[in-house]
Structure 1
Amino acid sequence: MCNRLFSGLLFLCLSFHVLAQTEVRVGVLKFGTVNWEIDVIKHHKLDEKYQFKLKVTSLASKNASAVALQSDAVDIILSDWFWVNRQRFEHKDYTLFPTSRATGGLYIAPSSGMVSLNDLTGKTVGIAGGAVDKNWLLLQAYSQSKYQLDLKAAVDPVFAAPPLLNRLMMRGDLASTINFWHYGARLKAAGYKPLVTVPEMLAELGVDAQIPLLGWVFSQRWANENPRVIEGFLQASLEAKRILFSSDLEWQRISALVKAENPAVFAALKADYRAGLLGQFGEKELAGSKHVFTILAKQGGSTLVGKATTLSEGTFWKTNLLADSFNAKVAQ
């Protein structure tokens, strides 16, 4: 009996050791804001706490991230659910755990005098992310619904890299711009304001829920084969976000990574990062995402959604981890 007990204990110890040493290979953009979270995980040894070994691969672009995942060079990347849904209609089993929500808006100069989208007619609008940028498509749907305005025909769209768009905006070469969230935060810090926000667009289009934007993407088969590992990684990710959500001291610690140009930009980045965290994802949010898919599929067509005709049942990873995670008020 003692021998059987000893063997059982030895097996448990060995199993724990193997789990603790299980490597999770995560691919992230080299200069992406996700590196703030990765740094928090490493600094606080959250991978050790949740019994996996984090290995980070820096990648040059969104396309490089997709290639790395598809070639099995990494286990997890950060991407958007439209890409995941598109892959599932190509018979790939990728799935997504949502982490951030759709935010941002269309920014204008405070002295522009514009009060509605009608005022943009004939003017130049800068857009990051290309012709099928989701906020740009959402803005088109919003303008049609609220003003019966064909915004795409009414304005002169300019597609450019996010830093260039901000420079053009601040130089007065653009009437307005839609940019990625951290560039929008920089515009706000410089006194620019949103003519319309993404939540306002969604409300006009009948969406009353937090809609996810990005999330951790991985193979459903891999996750099913490694349930404790993926749960451990997601727990570590959520804990890192909670630290950034609640601790101003942690932001001071990672300030070199944030690379804010001045204190106003730093404050705006911190506030907008916190505001962009997805607090919950349940049936209401899933229904809202299906509605958004229908809206944007109509605007962007196959260029955006590929062969997909609806939101796949497995696009979002089923988990109970994300439940009111970031809804508490944070003292600034």
Structure 2
Amino acid sequence: MMRLIQALFALCLALSGPAFAEEPPTIRAAVLKIGTVNWELATITENGLDRANDFVLDVQPYADNGATRIAVEGGEADMAVADWIWVARQRAAGKDYVFIPYSRAVGGVVVPEESTAQTLEDLKGGKIGIAGGPLDKSWLILRAYAQQQYGMDLKADTEQVYGAPPLIFKSAMGDEYAGAINFWHFLAKNKAAGMRELISVETAGQALGLDTDTPLLGYYMKESFLADHPGLAQAFFEASRAAKDKLATSDAAWEAVRPRMNVRSDAQFDQLKSDWIAGIPARGPVNAAAAEKMLVLMRDLGGPELVGEATSLPDGLFADVK
């Protein structure tokens, strides 16, 4: 009998031991296959920063942004990347999306190396290549800036050519535009090839009274998913910040992600590295008042086509991370 009791006790200990411990939650991240966010996510997984914060990160590559959004909405993924203005629009429409800050990197305008332009006013009568469409947020901010600074209607005074970011990048390299507006990483490659930044969206935003320390890009998850895993938003944020710290201070960390960066020269690598680090936001919660001011400007410039029903900042938009 004593042996039986001892055996049962040993079995209970075994069942309560590490082998039967509850598995940490998994975050399935839907991302663009060649997106720059992969640099941070790879740094998280390859350095075990996810498991160090009691979760498992499963990175799932997709062909385009639309597919990542469908994956999250349909429950095939738990997280994707977007700007918070888009997330605010979705939340105002009834989706329970919550935003976790990632980057404040924004685009700007570059001009050919031989261009004599010094301000946006000097682009009058020229052709501007714009990644995206008429509601591109960088374009809207630059239009507002030109109007404020020079009394200039940038849309009426220039010819716009809209296109996918890679197309605008290549055409800009061929000197087809007086200026080009693109996402930050394409502009970094333009600058590495000798093109010159005329003005950044950050500079224009500051002139308009915006707090450009507000991170525009971030990760979003469903509030219901986070409710099922208390503390997971902060845990992921900790892993994200640890990855940022590595990339901000370690050349070895950048060499590890270099194969993912699709660079063709050391100049491209160095410019991308520098601009990515410059886009790291300060640690802490998003300033809701500053975000409200930016949302109002986007609403005034882009209307419902851009912000939908998000005429003011939706409650609960920003995750409570510190």
**TM-aligned CA deviation for residue 11 of structure 1:** 5.9
Q: Report the equivalent of 1:85.
A: 88
- Is the partner of 1:46 in helix, strand or coil? coil
Alignment of 1:309 with 2:311, yes or no, is yes
- Is the partner of 2:103 in helix, strand or coil? coil
**TM-aligned CA deviation for residue 103 of structure 1:** 2.5
* More displaced 10-residue stretch of structure 1: 205-214 or 71-80: 205-214
CA distance in 2, matches of 1:74, 1:151: 40
Q: Identify unmatched segments of 5+ residues in structure 2.
A: 1-7
CA distance in 2, matches of 1:120, 1:79: 30
Q: Report the equivalent of 1:140.
A: 143
Deviations 1:182-235 (A, max 9, x none): 111011111212211122111211124402111110011221221233332222
1:1-332 matches, cutoff 5 A: 17-20=21-24, 22-282=25-285, 285-320=287-322
**TM-aligned CA deviation for residue 166 of structure 1:** 1.8
CA distance in 1, matches of 2:283, 2:14: 39
Q: Identify unmatched segments of 5+ residues in structure 1.
A: 321-332
CA distance in 1, matches of 2:153, 2:244: 39
CA distance in 2, matches of 1:79, 1:7: 47
Q: What amino acid is aligned across from residue 55 of structure 1 in structure 2? A: D
Deviations 1:51-98 (A, max 9, x none): 222222111111111111110111111111111111111111101011
CA distance in 2, matches of 1:78, 1:179: 18
CA distance in 2, matches of 1:63, 1:214: 16
Is the Cα contact below 8 Å between 1:297 and 1:304 reproduced in 2? yes
TM-score normalised to structure 2 length: 0.91
CA distance in 2, matches of 1:156, 1:188: 23
Is the Cα contact below 8 Å between 1:102 and 1:198 reproduced in 2? no
Deviations 1:133-192 (A, max 9, x none): 111111111111111111111111111122221221121111101111111101111121
Deviations 1:92-151 (A, max 9, x none): 110101110143311112321112212111111011122211111111111111111111
- Please provide the CA RMSD for this pair: 2.2
Is the Cα contact below 8 Å between 2:105 and 2:280 reproduced in 1? no
**TM-aligned CA deviation for residue 12 of structure 1:** 8.6
Q: What amino acid is aligned across from residue 300 of structure 1 in structure 2? A: G
**TM-aligned CA deviation for residue 269 of structure 1:** 0.5
Alignment: residue pair count: 314
TM-score normalised to structure 1 length: 0.88
Q: What amino acid is aligned across from residue 290 of structure 1 in structure 2? A: E
Q: What amino acid is aligned across from residue 177 of structure 2 in structure 1? A: L
- Is the partner of 1:113 in helix, strand or coil? coil
Is the Cα contact below 8 Å between 2:104 and 2:212 reproduced in 1? no
Is the Cα contact below 8 Å between 1:124 and 1:155 reproduced in 2? yes
